[in-house]
Chain A
């Protein structure tokens, strides 16, 4: 039964270790206002349910084509062709696939159910200083669900964090902040025009929210995806460093994390039938990353490179 107050997520991952301190449970929200070309979770972008097909697991047995009520799937020689036009995401193809090559992403879930799953690893949180992180996707796109979920987690004394792109209204952050122990905040570029070219949105709102956030008390970790040709230069990092310095009056920034570009999501683009624009890009070299790191260190920030 779907109820008001339920959220839309596409995964809950236990033993998550790159999304805040300790051992954490990561709730992946579905839906994001940005369309970053390097996004490694492209299934998180649209809020609605989606079908993913992993060709490398598909044996072309044809079971899905036979079961599909809307004839969206055809098998041709060595290829499986999926036409999403008439697809209503009923999931029958997923249910019948003997190789688990078909996945349905996006499900409604209640606060109670998320908390029940989160609570299962309570001892791990206690021993590791971990907790629950809302990520995705963009948790602030589901403000009511996010707020109530955080509230419910805090009631049990669970450490909470959020991973956000920052693109939302400030009043939503104001609702969330009382229940947050840590904010992992993405900064991609200081120049609004450059920002828009590869994320689809200007960064004005993002930076404004960041300024507001830095005026509050919650600890913040700044996360910078390092994208070749986009922001993998000293100048871009320098601008970020300067911006942070201008606004970090309360010294709430704990750390800056550089997240080097990687192609791990590329197969998911294929599985979703999307094209991948950064095909020619490569992970930045270590030497370059060290230089970029040094730039931020010079601005006074503890900086780490989060390799894959």
Chain B
């Protein structure tokens, strides 16, 4: 527990503290420089192949983009004209951006400041060219009518994620490619390959275009380095302060070398990581571009520099913190709708520590600890730190992680090696590669520089499948027939008849989503190829194919995210128990009360709420969680995608459980219409009444390794349970049991004041919020106001 006298400084050095303040207080604004360049080049090169058009635009932007070096910073460059600006990509964003011109600066969630000049520039130079030419426009025009009916504006299937966004969802091959070759090296490989491809063969035409595009992008990267080196040199010449002068000279030296050449030391490697992560955003801004196993691919540099006395542990931490701020400065442009659901401006930049090495040894090293320390020091929302744990994770390492959890930031997310490795093996990689997996996006298992795998082309709704089965395919809110006609449930003699109807509806939704997905893939392949991102993956250059042309070594997915598994399982359990097992309720009664959203029968709703619920270690309902998951996996495997082996199953919500809940009517689980669905594989709010061990036991009943797009579990903890040495050790025991149970992922929200305040106002929504006390524990809502106030006060004290 920190004391009140503790000053609120974040970051280890004054420089970092100052930069952090600057970043955190910066008003997020819009940068149109890229939009202008891309519009110009797209116009000028309209007849050229898309790959070359995009590569030329990228290079041109690198050449003329405004650059600056912030006061005191050691790691330089930004995707836009400064940190914390949204770089608008008109080929992706023009649709919503145009609609939101007047509201962008003032909208309630995540506003971006748009200046009057920029607004004019948009209107005069950019806007008109992109009419009906965005990724969304192409997709919308091409997707078949039946699929569109279900996948646009219904919430049953949602495809906006990839139709209003760049590809993302990749981990660049730092170790595999970037650190080996530098961009000059990649360029050399591409040029060599070009020489071998005879343009007389028609098949080679696309290949040559791709390779030429890679060459152009690599040139763009070198230009970025040179320009920053020149600027640093110029600033150094003008600098009076001797210490800063030296630093600027160092920056110049670093940027003269990277990104064109492989890094020679820790400093250059960190700058290289940032150049690459930033450039990917320039090429096409997107969420979920992961850093990968930072503590692994950086360690040899760290060790060498420490041994040679050119780096201290403190200066390494400072560089890492500077890099963390760069990640934090990276902004994800989103429409108003999008920002409401993915609030906070941040594009899920995952960074992985811990786990085992490709040859099966413990992988934790000093850098693993420095990464935790940097996150603890800075308290910013990026990078999204993920810790790999396995049966023999060092206790010291787990304790350090537990300390970070106690900070209440929600970091790190914990990922279990064993199911993750099985997931990778399912994708067809070698055992060695599988051991080298990394986290991506929210929770997904990825493989740096080798695996092409969109986690998601979108989301689909398990709860809608239940609704359709209840009402013979009718979507209550719209009154439309969106599902199949599986019959009136009153005619179902057995529970299995009903379950079969749910499965039929679910299979139909998955199929329609599979169709929608291949169209999104096609549009990305034809209209949004990313040669730079592709070149960071084995074997795109070797195969002379972009990622979307299937150039990567391994191709899986896209995945589609199933939302509301819990609601589906809970609904099935309630129907089985009350209608078929106990015969306490008739179909007429149930359908009637559902149709009027429980307004006529509070008693029946209570019976439904009291039926077995997911998250209480009760096989009666947990079996449904597993069975529906197994069914979903089989259905996904029926569909091949454009580049991948199969449509990948995934059970993680991002925040889609909220919008997806808004289109689902009342459910037999007792959930009212419009309310959010459960997130990931977590229990519905307030229905897990037996504590965290029971939750973990329930979710362990899913076959996690089959869901190779990942599963997500959120848990809440009271800070008290983590206090003191005993609390930390108990927490690690909980984590080790998580590992033993084979659950793939878990992250912890240490309950904060806000939650308690909300619980006080709306106790009915927080039935399961527990407050831990000595020799006694209580459900928060069962305490009187006075005591609740007391606890609220105490918790905020603990959070000081």
Contacts and interface: CB of A to CB of B under 8 A. Distances in A.
Question: Do the two chains belong together in a single complex?
Answer: yes
Interface of A: 13-19, 22-23, 40-41, 54, 56-57, 61, 63, 95-100, 120-121, 123-124, 127-130, 135, 163, 223, 257, 259-260, 262-268, 270-271, 306-308
A267 B783 contact: yes
A257 B726 CA distance: 14
Contact of A264 (B693, B720, B730, B787): B787
Contacts of B526: none
B737 A123 contact: yes
A264 B775 contact: no
Contacts of A120: 617, 693-694, 697
A23 B730 contact: yes
Nearest to B760: A56
Interface stretch (B42-50, B358-366, B560-568, B601-609): B601-609
A124 to B, nearest CB: 5
A307 to B, nearest CB: 7
Contact of B730 (A19, A128, A262): A128
A264 B764 contact: no
A17 B786 CA distance: 25
Given A57-B763, A163-B775, A308-B720, A128 B787 contact: no
15 contacts: A15-B691, A17-B772, A54-B782, A57-B764, A63-B603, A97-B606, A120-B697, A123-B740, A127-B740, A128-B729, A128-B734, A130-B733, A259-B774, A264-B776, A308-B720
The 6 tightest CB contacts between A and B, nearest first, are A128-B733, A306-B774, A15-B691, A98-B602, A267-B784, A127-B733
Interface in B748-800: 763-764, 767, 771-778, 781-787, 790-791, 794
Contact of A262 (B690, B692, B773): B773
Contact of A307 (B736, B774, B778): B774
Contacts of A40: 773, 775-776
Contact of A263 (B617, B734, B774, B786): B786
A246 B794 CA distance: 39
Contacts of B763: 56-57
Given A15-B691, A15-B692, A57-B764, A41 B733 contact: no
Given A56-B781, A57-B764, A100-B767, A13 B606 contact: no
Contact of B775 (A14, A18, A63, A124): A18
Contacts of A99: 764
A31 B512 CA distance: 60
B764 A129 contact: no
A22 B774 contact: no
Contacts of B692: 15
Given A14-B691, A14-B693, A18-B774, 5 more contacts: A128-B733, A130-B733, A135-B775, A266-B787, A267-B783
B784 A56 contact: yes
B197 interface: no
B763 to A, nearest CB: 6
Contacts of A56: 763, 781-782, 784-785
Q: Which of A63, A127, A263, A270 has the most CB of B within 10 A?
A: A127
Contacts of A96: 603, 606
A252 B68 CA distance: 69
Contact of B776 (A100, A124, A265): A265
Interface string B376-399: 000000000000000000000000
A68 B451 CA distance: 65
Nearest to B603: A96
Given A13-B691, A23-B693, A264 B603 contact: no
A222 B589 CA distance: 57
B602 A63 contact: yes
A22 B726 CA distance: 8
A185 to B, nearest CB: 13
Contacts of A18: 772-777
B733 A267 contact: no
Nearest to A99: B764
Contacts of A163: 775
A308 B694 contact: no
B690 A263 contact: no
B786 A15 contact: no
A236 B179 CA distance: 69
B109 interface: no
B306 interface: no
B721 interface: yes
Contact of B605 (A15, A98, A259): A98
B741 interface: yes
Nearest to A100: B767
A9 B778 CA distance: 17
A52 to B, nearest CB: 9
Contacts of B741: 123
A40 B783 CA distance: 11
Contact of B603 (A15, A98, A128): A98
Contacts of A266: 784, 786-787
Contact of B777 (A16, A63, A130): A16
A172 B694 CA distance: 33
B264 to A, nearest CB: 44
A45 B580 CA distance: 40
A270 to B, nearest CB: 7
Interface string B712-746: 00000000110000010110011011001100000
Given A18-B772, A163-B775, A264-B778, A124 B733 contact: yes
A270 B772 contact: no
A17 B721 contact: yes
Contacts of B776: 18, 40-41, 264-265
B679 to A, nearest CB: 21
A259 B775 contact: yes
A54 B697 CA distance: 30
Contacts of A271: 782
Given A96-B603, A97-B606, A123-B741, A14 B690 contact: yes
A78 to B, nearest CB: 16
Contacts of A97: 606
Contacts of B721: 17
A120 B777 CA distance: 20
A292 B700 CA distance: 45
A63 B605 CA distance: 14
A124 B773 contact: no
A124 B693 contact: yes
A263 to B, nearest CB: 6
Interface string B178-197: 00000000000000000000
